[in-house]
C-alpha cells in the first residue's frame, strides 16, 4: 500500500513543489538513449515526472503506480495524454513488450515484503520483451542514509503556489534493518492543518538483489553508481533473456 504522502490528495499535490530538483532522473534519461529504448515502463511513476520527460521526447511510456492521488496529479500535467497510466503495481502491467522497465528514486525500496518484491520483479519481466532491460536503484546499506534523516537537517518552509507556506521535516521512527521507518510532517500555514506520512524502506545489499534477480529469471548485467550520489546508491541493470 502506498504511503499517505502519495495517497492523500493534499499531500500528493505537494510532491513536486517540495522536490523540484529531479536531476537524479538525468542518468535514467541517458540510459534510455544508451539502450535505444522506444517503449518504457515506469514502475512507481508517482506524479509522472519521469514518464512525461520520456513521452515529451517521443518515447512510448506506460506509468504504473498504486496511489490514485499521485496519478491524478500526473494526469493533470501537460502532455499527460501521451502516457498510458495504470493504477496498481508491477503485477498489473500489461505485456507491452517494453524495451526498458525502470524503478527510479525510492520505488524499489518501497516494496518491503519479500513476496511483494518477487511479484514486482515478475511483473516487470512479463512487461519486457525478450532482451529488454530492467533498471532500478537502491541505497547501499553501508552508507547508512537514515542517519541524516532528522528534523534539524530537513526542516524548511516552502511557498507553494495556490497553497501558501508549508513547513515540512522528516524524522526516523524505527531502525530494524533491513527496514527503516520514518515520518514526514507537513504544517499548512493557511489553515494550521498538520498532516503526516509514514514510510518504510527496505535496504537490500548487492548480493541479495543479484540473487533475487537470478531467481526471477533475469540476467544481471552490471551495477552502476548514481552520478549525483556517488558511493551511496546501487543502480542495477538486468536483462530478460
**Shared-domain flag, residues 93 and 14:** yes
Please report, for residues 128, 151, 203, 219, the alpha-carbon distance to residue 213 in angstroms, rounded to integers and kept in the order given. Answer: 14, 36, 16, 7
Nearest in space to 179 (alpha carbons), one of 198, 151, 160: 198
**Shared-domain flag, residues 93 and 212:** yes
Q: What is the CATH number of the domain that holds 43?
A: 3.40.50.150
pLDDT tens, position by position, 119-151: 999 999 999 999 999 999 999 999 999 999 999
Q: Which domain holds residue 104?
A: 4-141+204-239
**Shared-domain flag, residues 132 and 195:** no
- So what's the pLDDT on residue 3? 81
The rounded distance, in Å, linking the Cα atoms of 54 and 29 is 7
**Shared-domain flag, residues 65 and 127:** yes
Domain tally for the chain? 2
**Shared-domain flag, residues 31 and 86:** yes
**Shared-domain flag, residues 33 and 83:** yes
Share of the chain above pLDDT 90, in %: 97
**Shared-domain flag, residues 120 and 167:** no
**Shared-domain flag, residues 218 and 104:** yes
Amino acid at each position: 500500500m502506498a504511503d499517505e504522502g502519495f495517497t492523500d490528495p493534499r499531500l500528493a499535490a505537494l510532491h513536486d513543489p517540495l522536490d523540484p530538483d529531479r536531476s537524479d532522473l538525468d542518468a535514467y534519461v541517458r540510459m534510455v538513449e544508451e539502450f535505444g529504448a522506444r517503449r518504457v515502463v515506469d514502475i512507481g511513476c508517482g506524479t509522472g515526472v519521469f514518464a512525461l520527460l520520456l513521452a515529451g521526447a517521443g518515447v512510448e511510456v506506460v506509468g504504473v503506480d498504486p496511489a490514485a492521488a499521485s496519478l491524478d496529479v500526473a494526469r493533470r500535467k501537460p502532455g499527460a495524454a501521451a502516457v498510458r497510466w495504470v493504477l496498481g503495481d508491477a503485477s498489473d502491467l500489461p505485456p507491452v513488450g517494453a524495451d526498458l522497465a525502470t524503478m527510479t528514486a525510492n520505488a524499489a525500496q518501497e516494496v518491503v515484503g519479500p513476496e511483494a518484491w518477487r511479484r514486482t520483479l515478475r511483473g516487470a519481466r512479463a512487461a519486457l520483451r525478450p532482451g529488454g532491460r530492467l533498471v532500478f536503484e537502491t541505497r547501499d546499506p553501508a552508507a547508512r542514509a537514515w542517519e541524516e534523516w532528522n528534523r534539524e537537517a530537513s526542516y524548511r518552509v516552502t511557498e507553494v503556489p495556490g497553497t501558501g507556506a508549508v513547513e515540512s521535516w522528516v524524522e526516523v521512527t524505527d531502525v530494524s534493518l533491513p527496514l527503516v521507518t520514518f515520518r514526514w510532517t507537513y504544517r499548512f500555514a493557511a489553515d494550521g492543518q498538520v498532516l503526516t506520512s509514514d514510510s518504510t524502506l527496505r535496504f537490500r545489499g548487492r548480493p541479495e538483489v543479484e540473487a533475487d534477480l537470478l531467481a526471477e529469471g533475469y540476467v544481471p548485467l552490471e551495477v552502476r553508481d548514481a552520478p549525483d550520489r556517488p558511493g551511496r546508491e546501487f543502480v542495477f541493470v538486468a536483462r530478460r533473456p
